[in-house]
Amino acid sequence: MNQFDVCVVGSGPGGYVAAIRSAQMGLKTVIIEREKLGGVCLNVGCIPSKAMITAGHFFHRVNNDAAEMGINISGKVTVDAATLQKWKQSVCDKMSGGVGQLLKGNAVETVLGDAVFKDAQTVEIKSSKGSKVIAAKNFIVATGSRPIEIPGFVIDEKNVLSSTGALALEEIPKKVVVIGGGYIGLEISGFLSDFGTEVVVLEAAKELLSGIVDKDAVQVVVRKLKKKGVTITTESFAKSYKKKGSVLEVTYEVAGKAQVVEVDKILLTVGRKPNSDQANLKGIGLNIDEKGFVKVNAQRKTNIPGIYAIGDIAGQPMLAHKASHEGVLVAEVIGGKNRAYDAKTVPAVIFTDPEIASAGMTEEECKKAGYTDLKIGKFPFAANGRAVSLMETDGFVKIIANAKNNIVLGVHVCGPEASQLISEAALAIEMGATLEDLALTIHPHPTLGETVMEAAEAALGHAIHIIQRPLARASASSNHKTV
């Protein structure tokens, strides 16, 4: 039996980070992975989806924007789906291979196989090569999550696809129905539409991304999707499907009436659930809540001494960067540092077109939290020189602050490179920055980042590149005014 200080189960963005930091702390560390290093994110999630989104966006711009710039392309621009998949896979392989090198370089032992806890001190790893037992003083459970299925739609990755199947299509389908208008569904809808697929989105809620991101941002994305020809139906419920010749006949219900749509593929993206029913976690007595998340405290300790849980399995938000943060935290706790999870915000990004990114609270959340007096500034990308030169002018930056002290409470970006811009906002919220801190920081020109500075100026009532009320009147304006 092999004895370690730390055994990490799962090598996703939480697990491999936890293993590396544990080794850096001088702890003898082993990591167990049943599939590919990097987990879902690097292999069939975050990274491949962004590769496909990049390719789709590039293809769309070549066909729609190049001529306006004076770039003439002779002949029809087409997509070689097989080559596209090969390129996408090369991106994933580079990232997964990089994780392997990092683990090896930090003297982390890697074991491939399916881990099952025998008790709170040992796990058995089963693989095609046989089985082995590993004992450790500390275990970090980072086993992630998987797609949720709904009645009538069993994922087979042939007719009914999860995001994994949608990212591995060897042919661009002519028509697809997407069940679930969440961030995964909309991201995939976007790049498929860019490649010419006719997309129908069925969302059970009244609105897309309801309660997840700023409402104004959602409107911008919905408008762009519809412009691309995507059909969006809300308050609609997928019921069943059947194969009819070469197509799939999907039945769904709207306002109590059954409707049918014929498609080539069905994409099911109604959410993900934690893998807490695996690895015998319940069998060893870990406390798991009604939603399937392992219960943890601020140091990500479970109810069993020496066992920690991080990432998707440890609760919302189910985001890779939150898992990585927790991985470092737990490794340092095991190494003797006094750390706890105390993030003021976990920034979130949706890679739609345009992108949506947020940090902190929405207006509604601010009011629910008791902030009754707000300053809200909004600056459009259409007034930003860099955005105009990129031909990417849809969207805005919106900043919400406490009017009593101007401390920033939330920032919401919808537009080009929103994913890059939101980090400044996250830092501002973590450090308790004020509107003045952002407005008085010199931002380089011409850049998209200037929109953050201008949104802060707008909240203060004196943005330069949009027309506002005179400053004296703005300072005396009533509560909750967006300026």
Q: Give the residue numbers annotated as catalytic, written as ranges.
A: 445
- Smallest CA-to-CA distance from 406 within 429, 438, 377, 375 is with 375
How far is Cα 452 from Cα 439, in angstroms, rounded to an integer? 8
List the one residue out of 405, 145, 418, 409 whose CA is nearest residue 275: 145
Number of H helices, E strands in the chain: 14, 22
Write out the E strands in 55-127: 109-112, 114-117, 122-127
Query: Is the separation of the CB atoms in 32 and 125 below 8 Å?
Result: yes
CB 255 within 8 A of CB 249: no
Structure tokens at 219: 């409107």
Residue 343: which region, alpha, beta or left (left: phi > 0; alpha: psi -120 to 50)?
Answer: beta
Q: Which position has the token pair 């004895």?
A: 3
**C-alpha–C-alpha distance, residues 72 and 63, integer Å:** 10
How many Cβ atoms from other residues are within 10 Å of residue 393's Cβ? 16
Give yes or no for a contact between 463 and 399, defined as CB atoms under 8 angstroms apart. no
Exposed/middle/buried for 278, CB within 10 Å: 0-12, 13-18, 19+?
middle
Q: Which residue has the tokens 């959340």?
A: 365
3-class secondary-structure state, position 460: helix
**Tokens 């109810």 — which residue?**
303
DSSP state for residue 264 in the 8-state scheme: S
- Give the distance, in angstroms, between the CA of residue 414 and the centroid of all CA atoms in the same chain: 15
In this structure, which amino acid lies at residue 342?
Answer: D
The answer to whether the bond into 354 is cis (omega within 30° of 0) is yes
Q: Count the neighbouring beta carbons within 10 Å of the beta carbon of residue 456.
A: 29
CA distance 381 to 418: 11
CA neighbor of 452 nearest in space, from 475, 422, 480, 409: 422
